[in-house]
Structure 1
């Protein structure tokens, strides 16, 4: 039975520098690699999305393997596994949304102010503004000329299907990606609706592992979700 292991990237930087790993994120990724190498989990192929935080997480895991003397394949970059661009959605949707939602307008102004402090909680918490901007993007309430939710979801499902098609007996593939692609992949496997997919994405820990296995019937099955056994100290758990 072949398997696909989906890894969310380690904790990212603050909102204005999100496509990096924080110091905690670097440590999370390194501990993930050390744990997997100690378990002797071998991969036949390793894929990372095109984002810096995804590739850096993969590189930390690769480094831990090689330091332990355990083989680890070269990392293949596949932009299909990129997260959607929340920053771009904010740029186009926040302004018109603030004109129709007074609560959003108030909280968005506070958020912009608080973002000037790199240590402010706004950088580490999902908030009302995030929820409403994403909702507007998904429902097409306001114009947005970037990638739509439907196109994004189809992109991830196509990337998952491509791996599924290349599966073989005992083949193991690691994918370093982000929370929403993990949610979409699990949703596709379990036949979940849009609301359930977003709930999964919202509770996916940084550097967590989700595993899918391909049965003899060619169908994927969920074997684990959101596992963080490498983070023994709960203080290292993070969502953002």
Structure 2
């Protein structure tokens, strides 16, 4: 039996012109996670990642904190890439979009994102430039199958809230609404653990931040 550690990327740049870039806080979150694992003697036997910039940067931060000399080469899997939030919102809303730079505009952003996710997952919309949700889900399932069939020991997987919540939904046979709720609750650099064997995965933990649990790290807990 092995353990799969699914990590959501560190804090990116919500509200900036380019979201796909870790913030300084996001870099520190990922380095802290790697250092936490190093302090507990954890070593990885395989590493999988999405190919987005925030995934690659998060993995670099984790690796820097982990300091594992023989860390395996990263297996990039497109099926672990996130959906396009703006395309989802545009599929259900044609008005002006304010950048989510304050509390009210962030609430509006996530209300519209939830509506876009509902329509996409139900097959009621086709956001521009995106695959169907069935294809997106199949990419996640293929990554999980690869872990079951090709990996053993401790496996690190770095991705985003969409693929991770979809993976959980597949394990638990959860409703679309439940998967959306999971998606929007996964925190930056949070860890979800699955046990696995060649036949199946099982969930052990969800959305934990053991590397950010001291009082002086309270300001490093983020969700967007």
- TM-score tier after normalising by the smaller chain length: 0.7 to 0.9
Aligned CA-pair RMSD: 2.2
Report the TM-score when normalising by structure 1: 0.82
Preserved contact between residue 65 and residue 71 of structure 1 (Cα < 8 Å): no
- Distance, in Å, in 1 between the alignment partners of 2:111 and 2:91 is 17
> Paired residue for 1:30?
31
- Distance, in Å, in 1 between the alignment partners of 2:175 and 2:110 is 22
> Paired residue for 1:81?
80
What runs of 5+ residues in structure 2 fail to find an aligned partner? Answer: none
> Paired residue for 1:178?
160
- Distance, in Å, in 2 between the alignment partners of 1:139 and 1:94 is 17
Preserved contact between residue 118 and residue 176 of structure 2 (Cα < 8 Å): no
- Distance, in Å, in 2 between the alignment partners of 1:230 and 1:178 is 18
- Distance, in Å, in 1 between the alignment partners of 2:105 and 2:62 is 25
Tell me the number of residue pairs that the alignment of Structure 1 and Structure 2 aligns: 218
Please say if 1:165 is aligned against 2:149: yes
- Distance, in Å, in 2 between the alignment partners of 1:47 and 1:143 is 28
- Note the C-alpha offset of 1:148: 1.3
Higher helix proportion (structure 1 or 2): 1
- Distance, in Å, in 1 between the alignment partners of 2:112 and 2:46 is 38
Alignment of 1:57-72 (within 5 A): 57-66=58-67, 71-72=70-71
- Note the C-alpha offset of 1:235: 2.1
Please point out which of 180, 183, 190 is paired with 1:198: 180
Q: CA 1:122 to 1:80, structure 2 compared with 1: closer, same or farther past 3 Å?
A: farther
What runs of 5+ residues in structure 1 fail to find an aligned partner? Answer: 96-104
Preserved contact between residue 37 and residue 64 of structure 1 (Cα < 8 Å): yes
User: Deviation per CA, 1:102-129, whole angstroms, max 9, x where unpaired?
Assistant: xxx4xxx3x42xx2xx853467655322
Q: CA 1:123 to 1:19, structure 2 compared with 1: closer, same or farther past 3 Å?
A: farther
- Note the C-alpha offset of 1:161: 1.2
Computing the radius of gyration over CA atoms, which structure comes out larger, 1 or 2? 1
Deviates more, 1:16-25 or 1:185-194: 185-194
